[in-house]
Each structure stands twice: as C-alpha cells, then as structure tokens.
Chain A
Amino acid sequence: MRPVLEVKNLKMYYNTRAGIVKAADDISFTLAQGESMGLVGESGCGKTSVSMSIMRLLAENANIVNGNIYFKGKDIVKLNDEEINKIRWAGIAMIFQAAMNSLNPVYKVGDQIIEAILAHEPNVTFEESRARVAELYKLVGLDPKRMDNYPHEYSGGMKQRAIIAMSLSCNPDIIIADEPTTALDVIVQDMILKEMAKIQKKLNMSMIYISHDIAVIAEVAEKIAIMYAGKIVELSDAVTVFKKPAHPYTVGLMSSFPSIHGEKKKLVTIPGEPPNLLNAPDHCRFAPRCPFATKECWEKMPLYEEISPNHFVACFHPQNLRKQVSKDA
C-alpha cells in the first residue's frame, strides 16, 4: 500500500545573516495509514523544522532547497498557496508546541474550531459544525458547554484538549503533534497522551509525535526516528530502537531518561552539546560527543543504511556498540 506521507531527501535551510543553517538535512521517512511515528531529538536538532516543512509553514528566511514531501501522491513542496491551504488541517493537522498560546484570545474556543470546519467544508452548516464540535469535545473529555468560553477561561489541560479537538475537527489523515504535552504536568501529560493514542487507533489516523523525551514517545509511537543535528540517525520500529539501539546517540538518549519499570540505574548524560548547524561539519556530526568515535568518523559522513530489515542507521560502528551495550548490562 502506498504510504500516506513520504518524505524524500528533504533539505530545509535557513538563510541567516551569519550564513546558511541546515536545519533539516537529507531527511527521508515514510508514514503508512494508521501508523504512529515518533520524532525524537534534543532541542534545536530540526524536529520542528521538519514538521513545519510538512505543513509548509516556513519562516520567511526558510527554504526547502531539495527533496519532496508526498502527501497521498501529491508533492507538497510544489503546491501553490491555495492548494496547500486545502491540505492544511483537512489533510494534515497539527498540534503545536505552545498549546497555551495557540488559541486566539479574542474568539470563543468553539468558534475557532468551527472556523476550521467551515473553511474546509463549504457544505456544512453552522449548526452541523457546532454539533461536530460538541462530539469532539466529548471525545477529548471536555464538557461541550465549554465551547462558548474564551481561551482564558480554560485551564492548561483543557486548552490542550481543545487543541486536540481542533486538530481532529476536519478528519485529517495525519496529525503532527509537536511536543503536545510539554507544557503540562506529568499526570495530565500521561492522561492526554493515552487519550490521543486511543483516538488515533479509533479513527485510524496517522500520527507524528515530536518530542525530546524518548520515554513519552515510547508509550505512543510504533516507529521511532532519532534526529541529531538536522539528520535522522536511526529509524526503526519502537521495539528495535529500544531493545537493539544501534546508534550511540540513541543509547545516550535512552540512558538519560529514568524508566519507571526497569531496574534502578544511574542516569547518564551525553557530554557536550549538539553542533551549531550554521557550520555543520562534513564528518559524522555526533563524533565530537561519541565515545566510540574512530578516525573514520572524523573524516567522512556515515551513510544512512538499512543494517537489518526496516532498521536504518547512520553510523560507522553500529556493531561495536551492540557489544558495548551488552557488556554494560
């Protein structure tokens, strides 16, 4: 079956006064109908740049210099403004990083959702759209009566739920959730994530979760892509990424978050910080922080290869690493 979304060799660069920032550099992945994928990485590694490229919500100084993004066979990169507006929300909806500020303070929350429905479905009447919003409110666990309230009358968690309801309003094929729960406390976070996963399964939508927190992603995503410095360094199904991580960065990410179920162990931080994408090096970008780096890593960029079926890694020494991990354990 043809995937609902296919990103091919996407390169999105920012033109800044200091030079070109390669925020997304040669990104490729596919997303099937009903599949949920996680995009994980540190702050500033280009996760949001990838999602903004898919929505074509680029800043003025941002350019997609190369690559294609196929949504149901149509290349989003080549569409004009009117065509892309049709795909936004009805095809690909988004839950933004700052849900707290994603609602316009001067309009009622319900009306903002209705606005999206009416913009995409000209045949729907106002009453029908109100009924749909009421259903969505029930689905995300909000009282439908609250749709006539203004955003400032909502709590943080309620706003987040309203945003989720909004993202579902036009029955999109894909929802991109960019740090959907970062602003919430852990308990609400967990509740909302579980609900989102439930709704996603129920409606058979595709989902892209974006987070810096691999533990959060692990709960909801079937497939995980690890991003580092504008590149995908490892991509596989969630089980493989957890059980047999091949890239040293993935290992580092996993050991820097506590696990509730696993045995107690010391949290390890990854030394150093991500490289400045302004002067991204030509060699492996993780080499300066990598405990396994060899001479080769400092000379060439590793290829993004399939080391076992459906397990893609961009590293010269994925084998070494596996031994190393088992020794530690």
Chain B
Amino acid sequence: MLKYIGKRLVQIFILLVVYVAVVFFLLHSMPGGIKAMLTTNPNLTPQARDSILHAFGLDQSLWVQFLTYLKNIFTLNLGVSFSFYPTPVWSIIAERLPRTIFLFATATLISFFIGFSSGKSLAWKRGKVSEYVATIIGVITYTVFTPLLIFVLIWFFGAYLGILPINQFLNPDLWVNTTFDAQTVFLYLLLTVSIVGAAILFSFIVAQKVSHRVKTKKIILYTSTAIASALSIFWWAISPYGIYGADIIWHMVLPVLSVAIISYAGTMLVMRDSMLETIKEDFITTARAKGLPDKVVRDKHAARTAMLPVITNFVLSMGFVVSGGLITESLFSWPGMGMTLLNATLAKDYPLASGALIFTGIFVLFAHLVVDIVYAFLDPRIRY
C-alpha cells in the first residue's frame, strides 16, 4: 500500500508539472494580455510602464517566466494578483474557497444521496411506472440548459412566490451592525459541518465494530447523528452568529436546489444500471435464500456492491466542488471560486487565474488518490 501511494505521488508530481505548463501557456496565449493593456494605456509614461513590466517580470521571455512560476509553485507561492494588487493569490483563494466548498459540497452531497437512494430503489422495483417517470424526469433535468433551469427556479421561488432570496450570499441590511465579517461565519459553518460529518463517520465505524446486528447498528448511527446535529444546532442557537449563519444558509437554498436538480440524475442513472447488474448476481439469490429481509438484501448485499461506480462519479465531481460551477455562481452572484476564475481571466490577471486553476488541479489529483485508497477498503478484491 505504501509503495503504491509513493508511486502515485510521483505520478501526481509529473502530472502537476504538465498541468501547470498547460495552464500557464494557455493563459498566456490568450489574445490581448496584460502587456498589451499596459502599452496601449495612454495615461502611463513609458518609464512607468517599463518599471511595471520589470516588477512583474513580464519583460523576460515566456520560458523564463514559466520556470520562475514553476519554482514558485513548488515553494507554495502563487504570486500576487494583478487586479487585487497587492493581495497575494493565496489570500484571495482562502477567502473565496470556503464559500464555494460550502455551497457545492452541500449540493453535491444532497444530489448524491438522492441519486444513490433513488437509483437503488428504482432498480430494486424494476418495471414499475415510477421507474419510467423518474428516469424521464432525471434525463430531462440532467440535459436541460442549466441557465434556463436556474432562471425558471429564480423566477418561481424568488419572484412569483417571493419566498427565497435570489442572489448574493447574505442580506446586507441584517449585517450592517455586525462586528465580525461573513468569512468568520462561513468558516464556523464549515467547521460545524465537518465536525458533524466526522462524528457520523466515527459512529458508523464504532457501530460496525461494536455490533453485528443491523438493528443495533442503525440505532447507534441514528442516535449519534441526531445528537451531533442537535448539539451543533444548539451551539448555533446560543452563539451570537446564529442568525447570520441562518441568513447564509437561507441564501444557499436556491443555488443548492438548482445544482442538486441538475446533477442528481447522473448518480441515479449510474446507480440504477450498476444495481441492475448486481441484482442478477448469484450472491443476491443466496442472500434471499438465507431468509434475510428484503431491505437487508437490497442495502447490505446489492447496493453495497453496486456503489463502486457511483463513488467514481463522486470523485469526478470533487473538482466541481472546489472550482465551483461558473454558471451557478454567476447567476446567483455567489462570490466563490468560479466567479473568481471568470473575473481573473477577463481581467488578464494571470497569477490569479492560473492560481485558481492550479489549486483546483492539485485538489482533484489528491482527491483521486484518496478515492483509490478508499476503493481498497470498499472492495477487498482491490489490493495495491
């Protein structure tokens, strides 16, 4: 296993160099560019222009710039943003990332949960009317033009019913007199979710170790989930951040709904197909013959074995979680990674644009490594 991880780390390193090269040269091959913008600016004196170019190293050849950039990346220095000068790229990413992660992680988890359980049930009760209805609706929402769906949702919930906020991630009127910034609340929200998630995972592992009966396992899992959630809700209720956290979550409802509607069907269809394959296997007949209840056969034997392709799908969407959906973020004016990338590219802000892309790249590469390791736990036949 360790040998395998070492091998994979070397691969990741090589891939990363290639990826950085592609990102760097692609961005610099865009027409226009910062150099042209500076030279065509009539308000700048030639001396000022030259000193700016020299300060950013833009007067050197592209190859030298690339090598310098590569060196900086491996010393974890992503440079300074042009458009937010002199803020370092790292702090911009650090500011935007939690917003994107919080929104898209929530949406992805919800859509995977819906997709996983609906795909499972559809395959189990094959040939019912519900299967055709769910499949058709799923394919429609999966293939529909995303902005159109979002506009319809915004119109329906925001304008027609008027019950949900339509853009931004907070209500400025509410925040006027606060002494802390939204970032703090965001980080607390993320922290809460991570702690609750870790508690659920921990109780799941404990339940597996402690008990061997499905019923007790479920009781342990559900009670600890309920306790963890209740405690965190209690903490938010008594803390001064409570109402502000609720405000952010309230603003999140519509974007999360949109992303979930768009992406749940992918998981559902993959899970359904994989389940249909697994159900035909002989060990499912064995499980039934053993007199296990229908639900145990479905969840413990069929779904557990059929979930591997869904896990793959989940990892592929991890890139989405950090890069953010450009369309979703723009339409909801959600200032996350997607918006940052778009604005940086439009402003020819090379360091910020490549920084955002490279950060996403590193994250996705490591997410894949983590999933390969998780695979080994989920499927004992996979050994490295």
Contacts and interface: CB of A to CB of B under 8 A. Distances in A.
B304 interface: yes
Nearest to A82: B293
B3 interface: no
A21 B294 CA distance: 27
A105 B294 contact: no
Report the interface size class on chain B.
Answer: 20 to 34
A104 interface: yes
Interface stretch (B188-196, B280-288, B345-353): B280-288
B290 A89 contact: yes
A90 B301 CA distance: 20
A76 to B, nearest CB: 13
A93 interface: yes
Interface centre among B127, B291, B292, B293 (most CB of A within 10 A): B291
A55 interface: yes
Interface in A45-87: 55, 57, 60, 81, 84-87
B325 to A, nearest CB: 34
A105 B380 contact: yes
B305 A102 contact: no
Interface centre among B127, B305, B380, B381 (most CB of A within 10 A): B380
B381 A101 contact: no
B292 A85 contact: yes
A118 interface: yes
Interface string A159-180: 0000000100000000000000
Contacts of B283: 101-105
Interface centre among A87, A88, A104 (most CB of B within 10 A): A104
A88 B282 contact: no
Given A96-B285, A114-B212, A118-B212, A106 B291 contact: no
Contacts, number: 75
B378 interface: yes
A85 B285 contact: no
Interface in B292-327: 292-294, 296, 301, 304-305
Nearest to B284: A104
Given A101-B281, A103-B283, A118-B212, A152 B381 contact: yes
Given A57-B285, A96-B282, A96-B286, A105 B291 contact: no
A325 interface: no
Given A114-B212, A118-B212, A106 B305 contact: yes
Contacts of A105: 283, 305, 379-381
B202 to A, nearest CB: 21
Contact of A101 (B212, B282, B287, B304): B282
A87 B293 CA distance: 12
A85 B291 CA distance: 4
A105 B286 CA distance: 12
B133 interface: no
B7 interface: no
Nearest to A91: B291
Nearest to B278: A104
Interface string B250-284: 00000000000000000000000000000001110
Given A105-B379, A105-B381, A152-B381, A115 B290 contact: yes
A203 B127 CA distance: 44
Contacts of B380: 105-106, 108, 150, 152
Contacts of A102: 282-283, 285-286
A199 to B, nearest CB: 19
Interface string B354-384: 0000000000000000000000001111000
Given A102-B285, A106-B379, 11 more contacts: A57-B289, A60-B127, A89-B290, A101-B281, A105-B305, A105-B379, A106-B304, A106-B305, A108-B380, A116-B291, A166-B290
29 contacts: A55-B289, A57-B285, A57-B288, A86-B291, A87-B291, A89-B291, A90-B291, A94-B289, A96-B286, A96-B289, A98-B282, A101-B281, A101-B283, A102-B283, A102-B285, A103-B283, A104-B283, A104-B301, A104-B305, A105-B379, A105-B380, A106-B378, A106-B379, A114-B212, A116-B292, A119-B291, A126-B212, A150-B381, A152-B381
Interface of A: 55, 57, 60, 81, 84-90, 93-94, 96-98, 101-106, 108, 114-116, 118-120, 126, 150, 152, 166
